Amino acid sequence: MSETQATTQNPQDHWIETATGRLFARSWEPDGSRDLTDDALAHRAPIVLLHDSLGCVTLWGTFAQTLARATKRRVIAYDRAGFGASDARTDRVGAEFVRDEAQHFFPALCEQMGIDRFVAFGHSVGGGMAIECAAQHPQRCVALVTEAAQTFAEDRTLAGIREAREQFRDPAQFARLARYHGEKTQWVLDAWIETWLSPEFADWSLDAVLPRVQCPTLAIHGSLDEYGTRVHPETIAARVSGPARAAIMEGVRHVPHREQEAKVAEMVAEFLREVDG
């Protein structure tokens, strides 16, 4: 079987212990290629996926598997505390929650899963968290991929959140989200809507964080993204310290990996072939 025909093993589930409860994680490894040795796979840093404000492992769909196959790397996704299958939270999310993810929860994942080096891949607010991970762990992050990330609380972002708040007043919309978060659903919504629309969050930005990112960076963004303009990927590409580029996908909205799964996976694979770490 050729390398391009490689499939992926059945995903493996993991539980990560933290001071505030357990996190659920799932990993995929490419398999079935005689051209890809165990040493080659071990050399390549795994990709860690950080989900968006309403996301979880399940909502990545088939993308994680597609990404593992395209990049020939292990891919790991996890539910942030309070989301998906991870333990519930009752505290109010503070304005520094993006930074806190990289300081507290992400290191626990890496330690307990034996991740020494990693590629950080984040969608939406997960993109901001991925930037923080790259900045706070520069010796371990070999590459950064952001997708539909925000770098500050743009008016367009806030307007989209206000519109979503009205949509989730519909019991049917709420029930769809509850399929993934269960009894935690209202907390998940509040963690997104109330935090982003709070006065404390109005001045949030990644301006001071971006220059601390030293690794190669790819900033993916849809031209029709309803939660942010292209100022975000362009800011990322311009302000990180390592080599970087913005990739604008024409006609694509806020979830490129769902709208054009294969294309996004191949974009990331091509980028990481240049990194080769």
pLDDT tens, residue by residue, 217-245: 999 999 999 999 999 999 999 999 999 99
Q: Residue 180: name the closest of 14, 22, 57 by CA.
A: 57
Q: Where are the alpha helices (DSSP H) in the chain?
A: 38-43, 63-71, 97-100, 106-112, 125-136, 155-167, 171-181, 185-196, 231-239, 256-259, 261-275
pLDDT at res. 277: 52
What are the distances in angstroms from CA 15 to CA 81, 87, 254? 12, 10, 29
Give the integer Cα–Cα distance in Å for 176 and 146. Answer: 26
According to DSSP, residue 276 is labeled -
pLDDT at res. 43: 78
Give the integer Cα–Cα distance in Å for 203 and 201. Answer: 6
The domain ranges of the chain are 3-275
pLDDT at res. 38: 54
What are the distances in angstroms from CA 119 to CA 1, 47, 86? 27, 5, 22
Give the integer Cα–Cα distance in Å for 212 and 189. Answer: 31
The overall average pLDDT reported for the chain is 93
Q: Residue 262: name the closest of 67, 125, 78 by CA.
A: 67
Q: Which fold has domain 3-275?
A: Rossmann fold (3.40.50)
Bridge partners (DSSP) of residue 121 are 49, 145
Query: What is the chain's Cα-based Rg?
Result: 18
pLDDT at res. 122: 98
Give the integer Cα–Cα distance in Å for 210 and 131. Answer: 7
Residue with tokens 């604008």: 248
Q: Is the pLDDT of residue 60 over 60?
A: yes
pLDDT at res. 40: 59
Largest Cα separation within the chain, whole Å, is 56
Taking the alpha carbons at both ends of the chain, their separation in whole angstroms is 24
pLDDT at res. 31: 65
Q: Is the pLDDT of residue 77 over 80?
A: yes
